[in-house]
Amino acid sequence: MPFLDKDGTKIYYVSERALNPDSRETIVFIHTNISDHTIYDSIVSRLRVNYHTVLYDLRGYGKSDRGDAAFSFDTYVDDLRFLIDSLDLGPVYLVSMGFSSLLALKYTQIHEDMVKKNVLISMVFFPEESVSSVRRHRRQLLLGGRSTPLVDYITKMSTVLKPEQEGYRKLRRLIWNVDFSLYEEIMDFTISTDPTPFMRAIRTPSFVLSGEKEALFPTNLLAFNAIYLKQFQYAAIPNASSFIMLDQPDLTASMIEEFFRSAPEEIHKQDEFVHFMHENIRRYSRDIYLEGKNQQNVNTIHVDLLHAFRVNVNGKTITKGWNQRYAKQILVYLLFHQTATRDNMCEKLWPEVPLMTAKRNLRVYLSHLKRVLHSFPTKEPVLVIDREHIFLNGRVTSDALSFVKGTESAMAEANDHRKYEKITHLLSQLSSRDYLTEVYDDWFLDMRKQQEYRLVQLVTWLGEWLWKQDRGTDAINRLSQVVALFEDNEPIFDTLIWLCQKRGDHKQAAYWEQEKEKAYGFW
């Protein structure tokens, strides 16, 4: 059997060549959290005529190992990167569904040059104010664990096929074989995650497909967002529910192939007035939607953390209570982990404390944090706590989150000029080493260390790129200004020395060699 080994975790995959010997393009299929890779069989057989196809089982599904690590969205994103890199697939088309559509969007955001186009099937999108009620409904269904009524319910709601049809029986088998504890974790994350930040962050042409008779994940909000975002298209497959590849395989395959073959906006651009009209309507739709959304009673939660700690909820700054009962540490953890379980939080924040003791303490800490966050009246709870999960309820923003995402974006940027602009913007936000220093938990320190490593890489790239642009003086000046910002700055010293030597300025090179010796005690 074909497996990839990723740090001891086996990832199962199936790779087949196109029937057309002249084909040079590859589609990677990513299944959702209640099936395995075989859910695509009915459309793969049709698309494999002109495309190489690669399917794989997500970790914890089908024939892939789950691994020892707790659920992490970033791990699933990196698994996709590992698959594409290991098989040397080059730029690919991605077809994803449900949870994996979020995964595909995040991968595209980080590795934009590796994705030609996206097809996003039955992607989940709930309004912020309805997330809590949807989550409660889904968890109520799962209270008894895997059961015949539960599997029958999910199957019935996900397809228009009849129980006597093979496609229906196949879907039911796939659902029955799922690890429901993992399904619940991923479902919770999927329901809680707003896909629009991912959608807005990419420029890759993307096609959102839903079933006309979708029941579990209403498509209204998703369709509206897909329509007003320029790089997206939306279509509903008639007489189909969530699993459009089972309900309408021929139509689904043909629409996917047509999207892959078409040039973006080719019809609209044929006529100048038609193009102008479409752009005006798109912008008008966007403005109407955003105006209405801003008027809704959704909590706004902003946390400053990059240089100083400050919390603002619904326009009001909360100053008291943060240095008591781990309030600051818990809030920061929730800031970086959109939905957290009690076990994960205890293991990350208090690894030396026995788990049962830590969970008892956590109840007290959460009660205190809830009082702090509700220092002022709110129409909706800001901190939501249920039997297992804890999450912030609202539109969450943070200078630290933006900075981290900006670093990821700069690392992934393939265009040199845009990369230069992104790095310059990042460095403009730093004036000393005292950034991301408000929390000292191990997980946060590890994140900061990784952040600094990436920034140092970006700075050295900046120096080398400026040199190639015949801007050697600018390169030395820029690196001289920022070298003191970082603790592990040896690569920046080395780049400065190299730049000075390339210019023939041996006196300046000797100066930076001395500065390096002062910092590290060696040449």
Topology annotation, domain 300-393:
Arc Repressor Mutant, subunit A (1.10.10)
Per-residue confidence (pLDDT) for residue 294, from 0 to 100? 54
Radius of gyration for the chain, computed over Cα atoms and rounded to the nearest angstrom: 25
* 116, containing H or E segment: strand 115-121
Distances 92 to 25, 47, 111, 265, 464 between C-alpha atoms, Å:
7, 14, 11, 20, 30
Which residue do the tokens 């920034």 mark? 455
Nearest 5°: CA angle at 487, between 485 and 493?
Answer: 75
Q: What is the pLDDT of residue 267?
A: 45
How far apart are the C-alpha atoms of 324 and 322, rounded to whole Å?
Answer: 6
- Residue 160's pLDDT is 96
372, HSE (Cβ side, Cα atoms, 13 Å):
23
Angle at 467 between CA 433 and CA 493, to 5 degrees: 35
Q: Where are the beta strands (DSSP E) in 176-318?
A: 206-211, 232-237, 300-304, 310-313, 316-318
What is the pairing mode between strands 300-304 and 310-313? antiparallel
What is the per-residue pLDDT for 185? 85
Cα-based distances in Å from 334 to 191, 340, 503: 16, 7, 49
Residue from 394, 213, 402, 390 nearest 293 by CA: 394
Q: Which amino acid belongs to residue 174?
A: L
* pLDDT for the residue 38: 97
Q: Which of 394, 450, 458, 397 is nearest to 426 (CA)?
A: 458
Selection from 236, 391, 206, 407 nearest residue 306 by Cα: 407
Q: Say if CB 414 and CB 112 are below 8 A apart.
A: yes
Q: What is the pLDDT along the chain (523 residues), one digit of tens a residue?
A: 699 999 899 999 999 999 999 999 999 999 999 999 999 999 999 999 999 999 999 999 999 999 876 678 889 999 999 999 999 998 999 999 999 999 999 999 999 999 999 999 999 887 776 777 777 777 777 776 777 888 998 999 999 999 999 999 999 999 999 988 888 888 888 888 888 888 888 889 999 999 999 988 877 777 777 777 878 988 999 999 999 999 999 999 999 999 999 875 554 555 565 555 555 655 655 555 555 555 556 788 999 999 999 999 988 999 999 999 999 999 999 999 877 888 889 999 999 999 999 999 999 999 999 999 998 888 788 998 876 688 898 888 999 999 998 999 899 888 999 899 999 999 989 988 999 999 999 999 999 999 999 999 999 999 999 999 999 999 999 999 999 999 999 999 999 999 999 999 999 999 999 999 998 875 4
The reported pLDDT for the residue numbered 322 is 96
Domain assignments of the chain as residue spans, ordered by start: 3-264, 266-296, 300-393, 400-520
Report how far residue 203's alpha carbon sits from residue 258's, in angstroms, rounded to the nearest whole number: 19
Rounded CA separation 242/246 (Å): 9
Q: How many CA atoms lie within 13 A of 2 on its CB side?
A: 11
Q: Which fold has domain 3-264?
A: Rossmann fold (3.40.50)
Strand (E) or helix (H) holding 11: strand 9-16
* pLDDT of amino acid 194: 83
pLDDT of 523: 45
Helix or strand or coil: residue 257?
helix
Pairing relation of β-strands 206-211 and 115-121? Answer: parallel
- Residue 190 CA to residue 216 CA, distance in Å, equals 13
- Beta sheet of 389-392, edge-to-edge order: 339-341, 389-392, 383-385
* Distance (Å, whole) CA 23 – CA 48: 10
Q: Do residues 436 and 448 lie in contact, with contact meaning Cβ atoms separated by under 8 Å? A: yes
Quickly count: other Cβ atoms within 10 Å of residue 227's Cβ. 16
Question: Side chain identity at 176, as an amino acid letter?
Answer: W
Q: Which residue has the tokens 């400065």?
A: 496
> Which 3-state string (H, E, C) describes 299-335?
CEEEEECCCCCEEEECCEEECCCCCCCCHHHHHHHHH
Q: What is the pTM of this model?
A: 0.57
Contacts of 309 (CB under 8 A, 6+ apart): 303, 322, 328, 438
CATH domain 400-520 topology: 1.25.40
